[in-house]
Amino acid sequence: MLEVKNAKMMYGDLVAVDHLSFTIKPGDIFGLLGTNGAGKTTTFRMIMGLLDPTEGEVLYNGQRVGYHNVNEIGYMIEERSLLTKITVKELMLYFGQLKDMNPAVILERLDYWLDRFRIPEYKNKKIKELSKGNQQKIQFISAIINSPKLLVLDEPFSGLDPINTELFVEVIRDFQKQGAMVVFSSHQLDHVESFCEEVVVLEKGKAVIEGRLADVKRAFKKHNIFITGDADPDQLRQIEGVLDVRENANGLKVKIADEFVSKAVFDYIKTCENITKYDVEKASLSEIFIAKVGHSHEEV
Ligand code: ATP
């Protein structure tokens, strides 16, 4: 288990992380999201024991992370600073041995991951000869080569195309299935909400959104149903929990009190003759962020 307990980090007068708390359990994929400069990398550095919190503490299985944990942890830093003059194989042997791994095991796993990431031909190529996306794959492989129980990924998806993003997501899910704890950061809220269940969204070091994504969305209480067809607005208005029904050129927009009302609306819709669209809308994480902090994520 990873516990961030009331952690605060100050650089001089600047509060980079402000009393942040969250817990990650085996099998959790945890998203640490937020704008540029929100405090994500600082939080990771506290998790990795590279920075001492000014207040509070960070515990991995009840203890501070130290060198004795290196073979259980994988960390992908945000900077893409690989040693560019050596080959992929040499780099992996270097990082793997720093994690106390046997060279034969490192090479066996490297072959597996290069195949999985569809770049087996790069094993003996120098890092500088690889494209940016492929260097990112190598950096990711160097974080997972030791099959970590805690995987800390700082902006793993930035700059990846959709196909490679999906490859990374599949691997992260496999680690989840094996019971690893995964924590990653991103400033692209929409992009990650499809696969992480627990989130903290930071804004200027403070958690402005936190908890299970499903609960966050439920609590936000923005629920609309869009209906096109022969539904009767007056009948819909009589359903308990229907707050408002508006008609426009595309059909009806039905505002409901919570997601449970959608079942009653659906039961009515089933009695209609000709419905061509029934779509329950929930707020996206970006919309919730804008509502909470009063500006768009992309503007920052
Ligand atoms: P990004 O998405 O841009 O990588 P981030 O969420 O990872 O941002 P941090 O790098 O943790 O944010 O930075 C949080 C705040 O702390 C920022 O205001 C940043 O300028 C400041 N900061 C980070 N590192 C230092 C440092 N070593 N010395 C002083 N200030 C720092």
**Which CATH number is 26's domain given?**
3.40.50.300
First and final C-alpha spacing in the chain: 33
Confidence of residue 215 (pLDDT cuts 50, 70, 90): confident
**Which residue is listed with tokens 């290069």?**
114
In a domain, 63, yes or no: yes
CA 123 – CA 131 distance, rounded (Å) = 14
In a domain, 47, yes or no: yes
Q: In terms of domains, do 169 and 233 share one?
A: no
Confidence of residue 295 (pLDDT cuts 50, 70, 90): low
What pLDDT was estimated at residue 297?
58
What pLDDT was estimated at residue 242?
93
Other beta carbons within 10 angstroms of residue 228's beta carbon come to: 14
What total of structural domains would you count in the chain? 2
DSSP secondary structure letter of residue 273: S
Judge if the beta carbon of residue 45 lies within 6 A of ligand 1.
Answer: no
Mean pLDDT, range 177-203, rounded to an integer: 87
In this structure, of 166-170, 190-194, 268-272, the range with the lowest mean pLDDT score is: 190-194
Choose among 178, 4, 143, 2: nearest CA to 73. Answer: 143
In a domain, 154, yes or no: yes
Q: In terms of domains, do 246 and 193 share one?
A: no
For the chain, what is the mean pLDDT? 90
In a domain, 254, yes or no: yes
Mean pLDDT, range 253-260, rounded to an integer: 85
What pLDDT was estimated at residue 294?
67
* Residues in contact with 296: Cβ distance below 8 Å, sequence separation at least 6, in sequence order: 286, 289, 290
**Which residue is listed with tokens 């696969």?**
195
Judge if the beta carbon of residue 201 lies within 6 A of ligand 1.
Answer: no
In a domain, 19, yes or no: yes
Mean pLDDT, range 75-95, rounded to an integer: 87
Q: Which residue has the higher pLDDT, 65 or 242?
A: 242
Q: In terms of domains, do 100 and 248 share one?
A: no
* Helical residues (DSSP H) of the chain, grouped into ranges: 40-47, 88-98, 103-116, 132-144, 162-177, 189-192, 213-220, 233-237, 261-269, 285-293
- Distance, C-alpha 108 to centroid of its chain: 29
Judge if the beta carbon of residue 297 lies within 6 A of ligand 1.
Answer: no
Q: In terms of domains, do 201 and 257 share one?
A: no
Q: In terms of domains, do 50 and 101 share one?
A: yes
Degrees, nearest 5: CA angle 218-222-227: 115
Based on the number of CB atoms within 10 Å of its own CB, is 124 exposed (0-12), middle (13-18) or buried (19 or more)? Answer: exposed
Looking at the whole model, is its pTM more than 0.85? no
Q: Whose CA is nearest to atom 27 of ligand 1?
A: 11
Confidence of residue 299 (pLDDT cuts 50, 70, 90): very low
Judge if the beta carbon of residue 78 lies within 6 A of ligand 1.
Answer: yes
Ligand 1 center from residue 241 Cα (angstroms): 45
Q: In terms of domains, do 205 and 237 share one?
A: no
Structure token digits, residue 281: 């809308």
Q: Whose CA is nearest to atom 10 of ligand 1?
A: 41
CA 137 – CA 125 distance, rounded (Å) = 14
In this structure, of 117-126, 181-190, 232-241, 285-294, the range with the lowest mean pLDDT score is: 285-294
Q: Which domain holds residue 192?
A: 2-217
In a domain, 234, yes or no: yes
CATH code: domain of residue 268: 3.30.70
* Cβ atoms of 202 and 208 closer than 8 Å: yes
In a domain, 267, yes or no: yes
Choose among 144, 117, 111: nearest CA to 131. Answer: 117
Q: Whose CA is nearest to atom 16 of ligand 1?
A: 16
Mean pLDDT, range 204-216, rounded to an integer: 90
Instruction: Give, for ligand 1, the residue of 32, 42, 47 to mutate: max count of ligand atoms closer than 8 Å to Cβ.
Output: 42
Q: String of b and e for 62-74 (b: at least 16 CB within 10 Å)?
A: eeebeeebebbbb
Q: Whose CA is nearest to atom 8 of ligand 1?
A: 37
What pLDDT was estimated at residue 221?
67
CA 98 – CA 244 distance, rounded (Å) = 62
Last residue of one domain, picked from the residues 190, 217, 244: 217
